[in-house]
Structure 1
Amino acid sequence: MSTAKLTVDLTALAENWHALDALTGCETGAVVKANGYGLDAAEVSLALARAGARQFFVAAAEEGAVVRQALGPGPGISVFSGHMEGDTALIRDHDLIPMLNSVDQMLRHMESHPAGRFGVQLDTGMNRLGMEPAEWAALRDIALAQKPVLLMSHLACADEADHPMNRQQLRSFIELTANNDVPRALAATGGLLLGRDYHFDLTRPGVGLYGGLPFTESRPVVSLALPVIQIRDLAEGETVGYGNVWTAPRPARIATVAAGYADGLHRALGAGGVMLFADDTPCPVVGRVSMDMITVDITDLPTDPDSLEILGQHQSIDTLAQAAGTIGYEILTSLGGRYRREYIA
């Protein structure tokens, strides 16, 4: 087959959740937005629920509906974008918990779904989502009287442990949420790793579950093997790919593999000298990454491979991301729809 194979290790995903949960003294949820970080929200949500997660977080109500259909009744499913116009039916029918971000969202929720659960998102300095301190001060008593199920905020610099913004936001969150008994949540993966001062009642790890930094102890969850379509011999001085950007410095053996930027392997990878691997042996990408194909120098391999691994035990999502000048999140969420997917439980 000429379609690349993407393998998702659901056991590793569950073990990553357990490892992060063990670092906390509170409940540990799971972020499954962006279609479970590109790995299929239904599959990863079910695996995480089996591991013990009972609180799930998504970006949009539509994502929440998919997770609810997978999990059934019971687990909490919170929506970071809150209660947007047109979301009422989805929130009501799928028992979603909007994290309300503004006075307008609060009014919309109280008017259209007064019996529905909700949380409140507070802006502690990131200036992205959430009620600002003055807005919260004006609304706080009214909101608390409606019995929110969670007060939350989000850290801007949690992947930099010594960044002063972390303590600044922690102080702000404590001040904004003082003197009430509503459960609180501040930490995603990076915040969870900052220590228990940041944990409060609930943590919500995301990328660390899927094998990404800053959780250095995470097990790889994704492996991606690219089938070799053709192998050819080049003489010294011959060129490869669009634009003739790579010239063979010696006699070379070149493999063309079946994947490209249409599959989420960014065009920038060609310029970064990214390594694909065959049994630990690095094989550099040569030439430009094209829509459906990548060319790889396999001159130093002892035998011709049937496939080459670009993600897995030998290369993490963050290593690949560094070569492309991006972050592991983007590698994960860009993984394309053409891959043959296999889920290992």
Structure 2
Amino acid sequence: MGGTFQIDEAQFIKQAEQFQLAGRTIAVVKNNAYNYGLEFAVKAFAISGIREFATTSVDDAVKIRQMCGPNADIILMNPTTDFKRARMFNLDVTLPSPGYYDTYKEELKGLNIHIEYAGLFNRSGLSDIDELGYILDDLKARNASLNFRGLWTHFGYSDAFDGIYETERANWLEFVRDVKALGVEPEMIHAQNSASYVRDGIFDGHSHVRLGIGLYGSKPYADLDDKDFIQSSVLSAPIIQFRELTAGMTLGYGAAFKADSDCRIAIVDIGYGDGVLRRRAGYECEIGGKFYPIVALMMSHMAVLVDDNVTADMNVYLYNKKLRIDKYTQLGVGANSEQLGALNYQSLGREIIYDV
């Protein structure tokens, strides 16, 4: 067997309980719940008290409804054209642009709609208040109405400390004021991700925070205490053999490693084909409580420079409480979500420790 991604359910739930804003948290569970597993994460978040969920996939939204029943709020952050299932499963939908409104104004009738503001991130959403004014004017001219239940944006710079987040935040708050000045009073206003929530608490006049990576136990930026972000996951793999190299010998694709002196290499049953990012291989792993350098990464294997204390029955750890995912984010390996999203469950084992 190759590598194994292991999650401690009790620790996962504890993190969700300590990080959420009780009764006012929307859990982001997109992309297989940051690869922790959709069904596992939704169940754990529900145990922790969360009843609101956001995802980008209609299929995932339907699964959440089937798991949680009629009392959960489920928001589609991507615009959808699957209006049949949106109605059937009572899914809140996103309004991203005047063009989308013009195309689907009839299909949107009777649905709970969340107006999206593009802001500085500018991935999707209304560019300015005039675009909402256009939609409202058209509704008035046609003597029609839509249920604008929510208003939201995504902060792309809340982990930046160069002043851009302050501009992003000010633009959003101005947009919220302008929306209300047009007579739209959404029941749900949600903008803040984990970084924004940690920095500011919940904004005045906002109903919810919409949290992702912090709920899963990774710090949204470096200058935070580990104890406030419990990493419940471990990625490990077994040693399958040792290679004894003499000075000058090479190993790996393109002679990735060249021995400066006689040395011992552990070959580990995990590689980039299993989702280990190449940049992660530039740093250490843990074996038997000690740290050892990774010297080469292949599709199915990893080479580690070890000493005689390492034996074949020892597990090799790439992520655990000492080797935190967010540590390698700060070292430039990749965003927390990038490291998690790369994991390949077609080749990795996945284990849940159920002790709650």
TM-score between the two structures when normalised by the length of structure 1:
0.89
| 1:289-324 C-alpha deviation (Å, 9 max, x unpaired) | 111111111226354443201011121112334556
CA contact (8 A) 2:4 2:350 kept: yes
1:68 paired to 2:65: yes
**1:37 maps to 2:39:** no
Partner of 1:103: 98
Counterpart in the other structure of 2:25: 28
Pick aligned residue for 2:323 from 292, 296, 315: 315
CA distance in 1, matches of 2:309, 2:318: 16
SS at match of 2:111: coil
Q: Secondary structure of the residue that 1:253 maps to in structure 2?
A: strand
Indicate conservation of the 8 Å contact 1:62/1:90, yes or no.
Answer: no
The SS at the match of 1:237 is: coil
2:86 aligned to which of 91, 100, 110: 91
User: In the alignment, residue 150 of structure 2 is paired with which amino acid?
Assistant: L
Please say if residues 272 and 300 of structure 2, whose CA atoms lie closer than 8 Å, have aligned partners that are also in contact.
Answer: yes
| Residue matched to 1:19 | 18
Kept after mapping to 2: 8 A contact 1:26/1:201: no
> 2:301 is matched with which residue: 272, 285, 293?
293
- 1:124 equivalenced with 2:125 (yes/no): no
**Structure 1 counterpart of 2:185, one-letter code:** D
CA contact (8 A) 2:286 2:316 kept: yes
Shift of 1:25: 7.6
Pick aligned residue for 2:289 from 280, 288, 296: 280
Call closer, same or farther: CA 1:340–1:231 in 2, change over 3 Å.
same
Q: 1:305 to 1:252 in 2, by over 3 A?
A: farther
Counterpart in the other structure of 2:209: 203
In 1, Cα distance between equivalents of 2:48 and 2:9: 10
When residues 231 and 331 of structure 1 are mapped into structure 2, their CA distance, relative to the original with a 3 A threshold, is same
1:194 equivalent in alignment to 2:191: no
Contact 1:117/1:148 (CA < 8 Å) preserved in 2? Answer: yes
Instruction: Pick closer, same or farther for the CA change 1:218–1:68 going to 2, 3 Å.
Output: same
Aligned mates of 1:41, 1:293 — CA distance in 2? 28
> Among residues 28, 49, 53, which one is paired with 1:52 in the alignment?
49
Q: Residues of 2 paired with 1:244 and 1:145: CA distance?
A: 66
User: Would the aligned equivalents of 1:10 and 1:44 in 2 still touch at CA under 8 Å?
Assistant: no
Separation of aligned partners in 2, 1:214 and 1:324:
14
Q: Distance in 2 between matches of 1:115 and 1:167?
A: 31
Tell me which of 150, 163, 167 is aligned to 2:169: 167
**Secondary structure at 1:118 match in 2:** strand
SS in 2 for 1:191: helix
Matched, 1:138 2:147: no
**40-49 or 12-21: bigger deviation:** 12-21
When the two chains are superposed, the root-mean-square deviation of aligned CA atoms in Å is 2.4
Aligned-pair distance for 1:42? 1.2
Cα distance in 2 for residues equivalent to 1:299 and 1:60: 47
Paired residues for 1:238-277 under 5 Å? 238-270=249-281, 272=282, 274-277=283-286
1:281, 1:64 → 2: CA distance?
A: 43
- More deviation in 258-267 or 316-325? 316-325
Letter in 2 for 1:152: W
Q: Which residue of 2 aligns with 1:185?
A: 190
On the 8 A contact 1:212/1:317 being kept in 2, the answer is yes
Change (3 A) 1:301 1:66: farther
Deviations 1:105-148 (A, max 9, x none): 33555422522222111223322111121201222474995232
- Identify the residue that residue 151 of structure 2 maps to in structure 1: 151
Shift of 1:158: 0.5
- Taking structure 1 as reference, are residues 9 and 312 closer, same or farther at Cα in structure 2, changes over 3 Å only? same
Q: Structure 1: which 5+ runs fail to align? A: none
1:18 counterpart letter in structure 2: E
- Which structure 2 segments of 5+ residues have no match? none
Q: For 1:315, give the aligned amino acid.
A: L
Report if aligned partners of 1:278, 1:305 keep a CA contact under 8 Å in 2.
Answer: no
SS of the equivalent of 1:198 reads coil
For 1:233, the equivalent position in structure 2 comes to 244
Matches of 1:321 and 1:293 in 2, distance apart? Answer: 23
In structure 1, what is the Cα distance between the partners aligned to 2:265 and 2:36? 31
Distance in 1 of aligned mates of 2:180 and 2:170 = 16
User: Equivalents in 1 of 2:310, 2:271: separation in Å?
Assistant: 25
AA paired with 1:239? T
Q: Counterpart of 2:170 in structure 1: which amino acid?
A: Q
Matches within 5 A, 1:325-344: 325-337=333-345, 338-344=347-353
